[in-house]
Structure 1
Amino acid sequence: MAFLNAMNISASGLTAQRARLDVISENISNVNTTRTEGGEPYRRRTVVFEPRGKSSFQEIFSRTSRGGASNQRGVIVSEIKEDESPLKSVYDPTHPDADENGYVMMPNVDLLKETIDGMEASRVYDANVTAFNAIKAMASKGLEVGK
């Protein structure tokens, strides 16, 4: 049932991109958060992907050519980490979190970058939906052959 493996790969991509979109929306919603529960400004978070079932191409090819099942393939979210780039310093002496010189440490979130990342994640999500639907249509047509 190779089409089921292909569907699982697309589904793992859908899940991973949904997690990425969740993190991007969290970053955008905290673009002006100068104080978190820890007392520090919000730090941008990024999603790290990792291939599921790490095998070389040769291993997969030899296993499937002998009729064996391939390992579970796809992508997983291995980690959501904080971006360690420097925070932005903005002069605003009226802000409650301003230091003695009137500067406020703002989050390291760049709204333009987050918007572009969100558009990319949305396009990748759409591509996985298209692939999933194509696989589903091929499987359906394959089942009609026996009629």
Structure 2
Amino acid sequence: MKMFNSIDISATGMTAERTRMDIISKNIANASTTRTSSGTPYRRQMVVFKENGTTPFSYYLSKSSNELLKNKGVKISAIVEDKTPFKQVYEPGHPDANENGYIQMPNVDITTEMVDMISATRAYEANMSAINSAKNMALKALEIGR
């Protein structure tokens, strides 16, 4: 139905932001992991969002407004690794230390992750507010009909 399109779009945003929060929490949990199964330190992961469906501009000129919002929203196109270099920390007693006593630490910065987490939380809340607004408008429309 046409009136539920805005709720569907906000729901895709909430799903994407939840995945983003999961990846951020994974990054924070592995901030001290010096060895993974591949033998290297943990690499920070990032979520890449993409519009759900690509539409040429001419489509907007030729279709009705009901057709414009179908299958819209956001989706996760990829989860990519951050290619920034690992941090070098002097810790000669560590089992992963090289001959000079340095270990490679993950490229995860807790401050950056916390800022990203706040951003994801705010985006999730904004989508929830949009859903609540759409729900309240639908309820008001039903009250008018009484």
Question: TM-score under structure 2 normalisation?
Answer: 0.93
Q: Distance in 1 between matches of 2:18 and 2:120?
A: 8
Alpha-carbon offset, residue 15 of structure 1: 0.1
Q: Do 1:60 and 1:70's aligned partners in 2 also have CA atoms closer than 8 Å?
A: no
Counterpart residue identity of residue 39, structure 2: G
Q: Distance in 2 between matches of 1:21 and 1:68?
A: 32
| Equivalent residues, number | 146
Find out whether 1:5 has 2:5 as its counterpart. Answer: yes
Alpha-carbon offset, residue 146 of structure 1: 1.8
Question: TM-score under structure 1 normalisation?
Answer: 0.93
CA RMSD of aligned residues (A): 1.5
Which residue matches 1:81?
80
User: Identity across aligned pairs (percent)?
Assistant: 49
Q: Distance in 1 between matches of 2:49 and 2:116?
A: 14
Alpha-carbon offset, residue 57 of structure 1: 5.0
Which residue matches 1:137?
136
Find out whether 1:101 has 2:128 as its counterpart. Answer: no
Structural mapping, 1:1-147, within 5 Å: 1-56=1-56, 58-60=58-60, 62-65=62-65, 68=67, 70-147=69-146
What whole-Å deviation, never above 9, does each CA across 1:39-64 have from its counterpart, x for those lacking one? 11000000000000212455235412
Counterpart residue identity of residue 45, structure 2: R
Q: Do 1:64 and 1:70's aligned partners in 2 also have CA atoms closer than 8 Å?
A: no
Segments of structure 1 that go 5 or more residues without pairing to the other structure are: none
Q: Distance in 1 between matches of 2:142 and 2:58?
A: 30
Alpha-carbon offset, residue 84 of structure 1: 0.8
Segments of structure 2 that go 5 or more residues without pairing to the other structure are: none
